[in-house]
Amino acid sequence: MQGTTRTQPQPGSTYPPTDRTVPTRSADRASYDKELVHSILDEGYVCHLGFVRDGAPVVLPTLYGRIGERLYVHGSTGSRPLRMTGAADPGLPVCLTVTHVDALVLARSAFHHSINYRSVVVHGTAYEVTDPQEKRTALDALVDQVVPGRSRDSRPANKKELAATAVIRLDLDEVSAKLRTGGVNDEPEDLGLAHWAGLLPLRKGYDAPVADPGLAAGTGLPDYLAAVR
Amino acid sequence: MQGTTRTQPQPGSTYPPTDRTVPTRSADRASYDKELVHSILDEGYVCHLGFVRDGAPVVLPTLYGRIGERLYVHGSTGSRPLRMTGAADPGLPVCLTVTHVDALVLARSAFHHSINYRSVVVHGTAYEVTDPQEKRTALDALVDQVVPGRSRDSRPANKKELAATAVIRLDLDEVSAKLRTGGVNDEPEDLGLAHWAGLLPLRKGYDAPVADPGLAAGTGLPDYLAAVR
């Protein structure tokens, strides 16, 4: 993301825990550290956004962007959560979750199988962004969340495209991270069992870029794309 | 997964669309095909489970397993959604979503940036599994969802571990898949712009396994793990 829009939190500063962000178990895996939360959010670009419709939960995958202590989600003005936010004057209660799987943890016992992961859960109220300048900045942040630096190397949205896009914002107030790291935790009496145990780290990154067949002559792969591999 | 527990749906059979599973836009990206839904579910093992707590949405990442037209999710008997399901006699309304990101789609215009993805959204009611045999089978399915064949090569759960684990089930009744495939869709008037455009395919699979330092002598990497790489 652009350095100009990213101010670092004070080292050690945290989000205040609430009843919703303190887990009922495995509390040792929870963290409220702002730097950790930002780092997990900044490594991703797809979140799972939850909201309530007719009393039932709905969870949809969608892109997000972060600017400071605010997240942005966008979509067609005709899509369901965006319409619900715009229609609801007091905003739409949401839960936005970002998860990275880092490794499979294969234990000797079925019970101790696990996953090394890092996740962030944000509780709050989403509001429609109506200020045109904030909307433009948010859309740049959404593009740069996927590939840092990309928004400057693409044709900006025109008026018609801006009008067709709704953007909602969600402040980072009630936030927690949860993570599991490390190796296998088997029971001492299982350590002699002849089952293979260990970690299977997930492969990250991208395969070779596939250029659009109609690229303008002389358009090479930009440096910022070579860097993300 | 074990061939014995996986019966193939009739070719072309579909889940009946409902008001909740027909999107308000991009309906061409939606599918109700059972084989497609199963293939998306079987490629993953982490879902995002949504439920409503005190009127607000909660979305948590968790493991799942599929057996036929039923999904299973497990957790500590002390964790929140599991406790809510056990306490709620009529079951817990949930939305379970599985998403695979396949490629970044970088267009010449910011507006047409997108993601190639495949997702499944399941709406329904989750019930606690109380039958001991179904619970054991479900826990095997959860392990085998992560690494097919693994449940047979690990020490099964003992009585104490089974008692500490709650399992909930969710039938595949109200289900849709949504996917984007293919290349860049830029406006005709943008095709001459000198911005690189194309796909960045995500790297899939696993890096080299990291064996637990305390493996029993002579325990080599099993074939089913070599196969998942």
pLDDT tens sequence across A127-139: 999 999 999 999 9
* Cα–Cα dist B101/B43, whole Å: 12
What topology is assigned to B3-201+220-227 in CATH? Pnp Oxidase; Chain A (2.30.110)
Determine whether the interchain pair A206/B200 forms a contact, defined as Cβ–Cβ distance below 8 Å.
yes
pLDDT interval class at A6 (50, 70, 90):
low
Amino acid residing at B83: R
Q: Which of B23, B186, B212 sits opposite A198 (nearest CB)?
A: B212
The distance of A11 to chain B (nearest Cα, Å) reads 27
Q: Which of B195, B207, B212 sits opposite A201 (nearest CB)?
A: B207
Asked if residues A95 and A176 have their Cβ atoms less than 8 Å apart, the reply is no
Determine whether the interchain pair B57/A48 forms a contact, defined as Cβ–Cβ distance below 8 Å.
no
Determine whether the interchain pair B219/A156 forms a contact, defined as Cβ–Cβ distance below 8 Å.
no
| Alpha-carbon radius of gyration of chain A | 21
Measured in degrees and rounded to the nearest 5, phi and psi for residue A100 equal -115, 125
How far is it between the farthest Cα atoms of chain A?
A: 67
Q: Which residues of A touch B65 (CB under 8 A)?
A: none
Nearest residue of chain A to residue B81 (CA atoms): A24
Architecture of the domain delimited by A3-203+219-227? Roll (2.30)
Quick: pLDDT tens for B121-174.
999 999 999 999 999 999 999 999 999 999 999 999 999 999 999 999 999 999
Q: Which of B140, B194, B204 sits opposite A203 (nearest CB)?
A: B204
Output the pLDDT for position B97. 98
Q: Which residues of B touch A137 (CB under 8 A)?
A: none
Those residues with Cβ within 8 angstroms of residue B160's Cβ, 6 or more apart along the chain or in another chain:
none
- Region A182-207: mean pLDDT is 96
pLDDT interval class at A26 (50, 70, 90):
confident
- Region A11-30: mean pLDDT is 88
* Cα–Cα dist B188/B194, whole Å: 14
- In this structure, what token pair is assigned to residue B140? 């095997």
Beta strands in A138-197 (DSSP E): 165-171, 174-180
Determine whether the interchain pair B161/A216 forms a contact, defined as Cβ–Cβ distance below 8 Å.
no
Domain ranges in chain B are 3-201+220-227
Nearest alpha-carbon partner for A76 in A89, A63, A66: A63
Model-level ipTM above the cut of 0.90: yes
Asked if residues A118 and A102 have their Cβ atoms less than 8 Å apart, the reply is yes
